[in-house]
Amino acid sequence: MALSLRARRHQEQREALADTTARAVLAEWAKVRPDDVARDWGRLLPKVTAMVRAGQLHAAEGTHTFMRELLGRDAEGAPEIDPEQFARQTPDGRDLTGLLARSAPTAISSQRRGFSARAAMARGAAFLDMAVRTVISDTGRQADQAAMVANRNVVAYVRVVELPACSRCIILAGREYGVSSGFLRHPRCDCTMEPVTRKRRPMPLDAEELFKSMSADQRRKVFGEAGTQAIEDGSSISTVVNARKSMDQVQMFGKRVQVTYVGTGSRKKKRPPRLMPEEIYRLAGDDRAHAIRLLYKNGYLR
């Protein structure tokens, strides 16, 4: 069974809700004067907090409709979530007002460090935008997962990733997890989950399928020039992405080169590092065969 249209619509609705809420909050931030940030923002905080809580409530309320329409009879009789409980704080248990308040010191400290008033306010706005979108998305996912755990017909969930997406999310696309497994995400992550039951098993696009559907510009933007070439030459996407988690520069071949320790064991065991794809292509030059040999030697191909 392919990814359902209802699941895709659910994801799009969540994205739209996060976008609408963030824009409303930033409209309030625009009223703050650079020379009186703390006072102006303090006056607006109650209103802004209420806006975000309304967005959280709306995100959680969408869970029941999503589960009922998606699962049909498999949703009957399952306990329902209480949406209001998901709008009392941030999904990680922090005070929402305190989180939103941090945009003020961000702008103030930026001005003290020499940023122009406009640039400092933009930094505060960027923090707010990230915080609001993350809170709304996380709240929705939290509500979805609670509903899945409560429904005994749901045995697992699959990760749904829609483009545009970052490389970290793409390598997780289509993977199946236990229903109570934590959802890996990053700030502003808009990935969602679709329930798996004994009767229905959705098949969202996996990393390879997503990569094939991307344009050349999209591939370069997400994976970089060398990373894209390595994948097109046959390297697994996860190997290329994970290699960048532990990049370093060392002296090899009489020159400084970029390497990674991911996939080699710990540094304490003194195993040799692997060349990054960028260095492989730089060293191989126009010799495609040599580049592929190095990809094999450094574990990007198997």
pLDDT at 270: 53
Q: How far is CA 194 from CA 70, 191, 235, in A?
A: 9, 10, 28
Q: What is the 8-class DSSP label of residue 78? A: P
Residues 32-67 have pLDDT tens digits of: 999 999 999 999 999 999 999 999 999 999 999 999
Higher pLDDT pick, 200 / 267:
200
* Pair (147, 285) in one structural domain: no
* Pair (147, 275) in one structural domain: no
Residue 247's DSSP bridge partners are: 260
- Contact between residue 133 and residue 18 where contact means Cβ atoms under 8 Å apart: yes
* Pair (24, 115) in one structural domain: yes
pLDDT at 21: 98
* Pair (19, 134) in one structural domain: yes
Q: CB-hemisphere CA count at 13 Å for 99? A: 21
- Tell me how crowded residue 84 is: count the other CB atoms within 10 A of its CB: 12
The residue-averaged pLDDT of 111-140 equals 97
* Pair (19, 143) in one structural domain: yes
* Pair (146, 13) in one structural domain: yes
> Would you say residue 201 lies in a domain?
no
Q: Rounded distance, CA 191 to CA 165, Å?
A: 8
Q: Domain range holding 40?
A: 5-151
pLDDT at 119 over 70: yes
* Pair (10, 132) in one structural domain: yes
> Would you say residue 256 lies in a domain?
yes
> Would you say residue 172 lies in a domain?
no
Report helix angle 216-232 to 277-284, nearest 10.
70
Amino acid at 301: L
**Strands of the sheet with 247-252, listed across from one edge:** 247-252, 255-260, 274-275
> Would you say residue 202 lies in a domain?
no
Q: Rounded distance, CA 64 to CA 259, Å?
A: 48
Q: How far is CA 34 from CA 24, 101, 121, 218, in A?
A: 19, 15, 7, 37
Tell me what percent of the residues of the chain surpass a pLDDT of 90: 55
Amino acid at 10: H
Which among 91, 98, 97 has a CA at the least distance from the CA of 135?
91
| Cβ neighbourhood burial of 79 (10 Å; 0-12, 13-18, 19+) | exposed
pLDDT at 252: 47
> Would you say residue 99 lies in a domain?
yes
pLDDT at 20: 98
> Would you say residue 88 lies in a domain?
yes
> Would you say residue 190 lies in a domain?
no
> Would you say residue 212 lies in a domain?
no
Number of domains in the chain: 2
pLDDT at 253: 46
pLDDT at 115 over 80: yes
Residues 70-113 have pLDDT tens digits of: 999 888 888 888 898 889 888 888 899 999 999 999 999 999 99
The owner of tokens 């991911």 is 262
pLDDT at 284: 86
pLDDT band at residue 251 using 50, 70 and 90 as cut-offs: low
* Pair (34, 142) in one structural domain: yes
Sign of CA dihedral 124, 130, 134, 136: positive
* Pair (147, 231) in one structural domain: no
Domain's final residue, options 151, 186, 206: 151
Tokens found for residue 83: 């949406």
Q: Rounded distance, CA 248 to CA 272, Å?
A: 12
- Contact between residue 222 and residue 166 where contact means Cβ atoms under 8 Å apart: yes
* Pair (235, 107) in one structural domain: no
* Pair (10, 147) in one structural domain: yes
- Contact between residue 243 and residue 260 where contact means Cβ atoms under 8 Å apart: yes
CA 276 to chain CA centroid, Å, is: 24
Tokens found for residue 159: 């990760």
Domain's final residue, options 125, 151, 177: 151
Amino acid at 215: S
Q: Rounded distance, CA 56 to CA 60, Å?
A: 6
- Contact between residue 191 and residue 232 where contact means Cβ atoms under 8 Å apart: no
Q: Rounded distance, CA 193 to CA 206, Å?
A: 13
Q: Provide the 3-class DSSP secondary structure of residue 181.
A: coil
Is the pTM value of this prediction over 0.85? no
* Pair (19, 147) in one structural domain: yes
Domain's final residue, options 129, 151, 173: 151
Amino acid at 131: A
